[in-house]
Amino acid sequence: MTTWLTTPSHARWLEHQTTSLLAFARPSPLPAGGFGYLDANGALVTARGAELWISCRMTHCFAMAAMMGHPGYAPLADHGVRSLLDGPFADKQNGGWYSAITADGAPASDTKEAYAHGFVILAAASAAAANRPNARELLDKALQTNLAHFWNEQDGMVADACSQDFATTDPYRGVNSNMHTLEAYLAAADVTQDPAWLHRGLRISTRVVHENARSNNWRIPEHYDESWSPLLEYNDDNKADKFRPYGATPGHGLEWARLILHLHAGLQAIDPAQAPDWMVPAARNLYARAIEDGWAPGGTPGFAYTVGWDGTPVTTQRLHWVAAEAIGAAAALHHATQDPIYATDYQKWWDYVAEFVIDHEKGSWHHETDPDGRPDITIWPGKPDVYHAVQATLIPRLPLAPAMAPALAAGLLDVR
């Protein structure tokens, strides 16, 4: 059966989308270091300075662009590496990286975050896969920092945040930071050729998915105390928080579905016996729950940002990254199972994105739309970065393993 996922012309359409997104992101470098926040028109908002997670995501994307043969992006990846290795993000006294810097390059936050440090690993791994100068040195530092200050061997998880000197750890524990740490570990495992990173990723996935999501009707509890007891009412008074919203997040269910398929494939490549048999069925269940809960609340297209623990929509704004993860999850599930339902869904999600999310006039994707599909800024003003959208255009064209950037380095684009 011919599907978009097997049609060369669709791959060419995806390539055009990748190119357009990367071009939109080109104005993002800041002279002081890092990559800045882009507004709805693609203009750089210099007054905001730079946030570590955005700078790392852009470095990751530009490194991948360099490996795809897009001229002009290798220097941008190098700018990102320099900003992280020796630039204003680097805390030269305590180690690690500041979460944000001001427009003139001074630290804007004294908190060290596992979420952003996970993206340092991802950026460094992608730049190292692209053979960019000093990227492997950056990767080694990022991995050492992760193990020394965030990874807890007893818990098999990372803590969320530390003080600037790493002397104290915030008691809050979260799944979002662990999800992006898993993503980073997948890339690090392929670049370093050290399977220990996959085994750490499996420990994270086992707790989050095999234990907690499975026992909660496949809705992932996101927030915990320091003993990893779930806080199901966390942020009840701030339900639409950008990073720690109340309730279950269908987009994260989709993202976890995809990531555990990548992890399963990576473990299988080492030794099929190391890839637990719960992983592919769990990915199916996470995906099904996310679609049932999140898609088209109120009868209009798009995914709700959050739902309650009974699946009732809570925040019905549509965020672009959720649609991007739906595309990635459908493509990954089709690759893993060959079930035609995922090819059908894949086309459905791209039809939605093409109609409501891609900004055909100004470029990139609207980061937020209201339930009627109109661009909105209730949660996410502007178009800060292109990471989720770029990955949605690449995941369908790559194998499940190795990770995205190492796969590009190996010449595996459109080899599936």
As a three-state string, the secondary structure of the chain is: CCCHHHCHHHHHHHHHHHHHHHHHHCCCECCCCCEEEECCCCCEEEEEEEEHHHHHHHHHHHHHHHHCCCCCCHHHHHHHHHHHHCCCCECCCCCCECCEECCCCCECCCEEEHHHHHHHHHHHHHHHHCCCCCHHHHHHHHHHHHHHHHEECCCCEECCEEECCCCCECCCEEHHHHHHHHHHHHHHHHHHCCCHHHHHHHHHHHHHHHHHHHHHCCCCCCEECCCCCECCCCCCCCCCCCCCCCCECHHHHHHHHHHHHHHHHHHHHHCHHHCCCCHHHHHHHHHHHHHHHHECHHHCCCECCEECCCCCEEECCEEHHHHHHHHHHHHHHHHHHCCHHHHHHHHHHHHHHHHHHECCCCCCECCEECCCCCECCCCCCCCCCCHHHHHHHHHHHCCCCCCHHHHHHCCCCCCC
Beta-sheet pairing, 223-224 with 173-174: antiparallel
Cis peptide before 402 (omega within 30 of 0): yes
Query: Quick one: pLDDT at residue 110?
Result: 87
Which of 290, 194, 223, 197 has its CA nearest to residue 251?
Answer: 290
Q: Enumerate the β-bridge partners of residue 361.
A: none
The residues that bridge with 101 in the sheet, in sequence order, are 50, 107
Which is it for strands 44-51 and 100-101: parallel, antiparallel or unpaired?
A: antiparallel
- Alpha carbon 234 to its chain centroid, in Å, reads 22
Residues 6+ apart with CB under 8 A from 215: none
287-319 pLDDT per residue, tens: 999 999 999 999 999 999 999 999 999 999 999
Unique residue bearing structure tokens 């949660």: 379
For position 151, what pLDDT does the model report?
A: 98
Residues 6+ apart with CB under 8 A from 155: 207, 228
- Would you say the pTM of this structure is higher than 0.75? yes
Separation between Cα atoms, residue 103 and residue 49, nearest integer Å: 4
Residues with a catalytic annotation lie at 252, 388
- pLDDT number for residue 242: 95
Please enumerate in sequence order all residues whose Cβ is within 8 A of that of 393, keeping only pairs 6 or more positions apart, or say none.
Answer: 14, 15, 17, 18, 21
Q: How far apart are CA 406 and CA 197, in angstroms?
A: 15
Pairing of β 111-113 and β 36-38 = unpaired
Give me the residues of the chain with pLDDT under 50, please: none
Positive or negative, the CA dihedral 348, 349, 354, 357 is positive
Contacts of 334 (CB under 8 A, 6+ apart): 3, 5, 340, 342, 343, 346
pLDDT digits (tens, 9 = 90+) for 239-290: 999 999 999 999 999 999 999 999 999 999 999 999 999 999 999 999 999 9
